Amino acid sequence: MTAQVVSKQVALNEEGFLVNPAEWTPEIAEALAREEGITLTPRHWEIIRFVRAYYQEHGKSPTLRQITAELGVPTKELFQLFPKGPAKKVARIAGVPKPEGCV
């Protein structure tokens, strides 16, 4: 019998975002998603992986429009997967800063 526990402590800023995006682990994403009332599915992970890869490549978080356009996720689906505020929620769960772009 095994038990899996979250043992790592990570620092969050006053808005609840990871202070250091490099500290992110999938386990942290699960924990943050749970706080938001979201159960992560493979589709969520696809978006999270895209957001992290984008951040690593460009040094900034993608906007919602970049996620929908470049990953081919319909806007409706993005708002269903991360209800009530996907811009903040996606970035927070993926462990990257809030997107700076407006669109």
Q: Is-catalytic flag, 102?
A: yes
Q: How far is the CB of 4 from another protein (least distance, A)?
A: 31
By CB under 8 A, residue 85 contacts another protein: yes
Q: Which of 2, 14, 22, 84 lies at the binding interface for another protein (CB under 8 A)?
A: 84
* Contact (Cβ atoms closer than 8 angstroms) between residue 64 and residue 78: yes
DSSP 12: B
Place of tokens 């991360």: 82
Residue 72 binds to another protein (criterion: CB under 8 A): no
Residues of this chain, 35-54, that bind another protein according to CB under 8 A: none
Return d(Cα 33, Cα 40) in angstroms, integer: 7
Q: How far is residue 18's CA from residue 16's CA, in Å, rounded to a whole number?
A: 7
- Judged by the rule CB under 8 A, the positions of this chain that interact with another protein are 63-66, 68, 74-76, 79, 84-89, 101-103
